């Protein structure tokens, strides 16, 4: 008998917490103090926007939160488990379980179908049998309005459609946290609105925390909270 899936923790619970993060980039005379003691929390069902000028540290912070890089000082915890100073294997496993990424450029495998692109993270994680992966991918594509285009190749989709496939792919492993770096920055106004509208709806439906980096003040104003950043600190 297949075990029932565990229900997500209540909306509003803190699932991502960092404290006192410092990050330096470069060496010797070119060494730059990019993050200067940043602390941050993200909660289930909420969308947090990080805004600020280019070079202020937004993307560096997102890469640390996504366990793609390690801080020089400070701590990052996901679901209460400290992850910031673990080894590469542990961080890779945690990313697969807990984190979905949406970037400005969709990074789809264009020679594969929308369905196959959404299934790729599930295949890598290896948690579901093939029929269940396929069923879940179909459902996710339907949820982003692409239920009738599941078998189209990436090259046969518009830019807005490709980014919606990227959103579905980010959700494929039921992550605890969605990290989005300028997810609408490469889209026109109509497609920007369409892609952004998905994030708060899916976050609340699935009990996920969304952390969004954006230069778009209209999108930031529609998030649950906005955190302005300048010179490596929140202001």
Query: Model confidence at 209, in pLDDT bands (50, 70, 90)?
Result: very high
Strands of the sheet containing 73-78, edge to edge, are: 32-43, 14-25, 73-78, 81-82
Mean predicted confidence (pLDDT) in 204-230: 87
E strand spans, 141-190: 177-181
Domain positions in the chain: 11-234
Mean predicted confidence (pLDDT) in 118-122: 89
Query: pTM for this one?
Result: 0.82
Query: Model confidence at 3, in pLDDT bands (50, 70, 90)?
Result: very low
Q: Which fold has domain 11-234?
A: Rossmann fold (3.40.50)
Write phi, then psi, for 126 (nearest 5 degrees). Answer: 70, 30
DSSP class of 7: P
Q: 124-135: per-residue pLDDT in tens?
A: 878 889 999 999
pLDDT recorded at residue 135: 92
Query: Model confidence at 4, in pLDDT bands (50, 70, 90)?
Result: very low
> Residue 191 pLDDT more than 90?
no
> Residue 203 pLDDT more than 80?
no
Query: Model confidence at 105, in pLDDT bands (50, 70, 90)?
Result: low
Q: 55-104: per-residue pLDDT in tens?
A: 888 889 998 999 988 899 999 999 888 987 788 888 888 888 888 888 76
Q: Which two tokens stand for residue 223?
A: 């998030």
pLDDT recorded at residue 11: 64
Among 81-85, 107-111, 113-117, the range with the most confident prediction by mean pLDDT is 113-117
Query: Model confidence at 234, in pLDDT bands (50, 70, 90)?
Result: very high
| Number of residues assigned to the chain | 235
Write phi, then psi, for 138 (nearest 5 degrees). Answer: -60, -45
Closest CA to 168 of 133, 129, 134, 142: 142
């Amino acid at each position: 008998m297949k075990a029932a899936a565990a229900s997500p923790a209540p909306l509003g619970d803190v699932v991502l917490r960092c404290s006192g993060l410092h990050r330096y980039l470069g060496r010797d005379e070119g060494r730059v103090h990019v993050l200067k003691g940043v602390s941050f929390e993200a909660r289930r069902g909420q969308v947090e926007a990080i805004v600020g000028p280019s070079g202020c540290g937004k993307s560096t912070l997102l890469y640390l939160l996504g366990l793609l890089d390690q801080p020089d000082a400070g701590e990052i915890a996901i679901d209460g488990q400290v992850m910031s100073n673990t080894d590469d294997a542990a961080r890779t496993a945690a990313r697969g379980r807990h984190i979905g990424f949406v970037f400005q450029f969709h990074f789809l495998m264009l020679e594969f179908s929308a369905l196959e692109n959404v299934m790729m993270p599930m295949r890598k994680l290896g948690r579901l049998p093939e029929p269940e992966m396929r069923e879940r991918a179909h459902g996710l594509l339907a949820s982003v309005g692409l239920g009738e285009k599941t078998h189209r190749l990436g090259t046969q989709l518009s830019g807005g459609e490709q980014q919606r496939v990227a959103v579905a792919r980010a959700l494929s492993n039921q992550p605890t946290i969605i990290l989005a770096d300028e997810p609408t920055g490469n889209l026109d106004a109509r497609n920007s609105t369409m892609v952004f509208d998905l994030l708060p709806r899916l976050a609340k439906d699935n009990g996920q925390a969304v952390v969004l980096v954006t230069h778009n003040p209209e999108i930031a104003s529609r998030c649950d909270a906005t955190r302005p950043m300048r010179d490596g600190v929140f202001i």
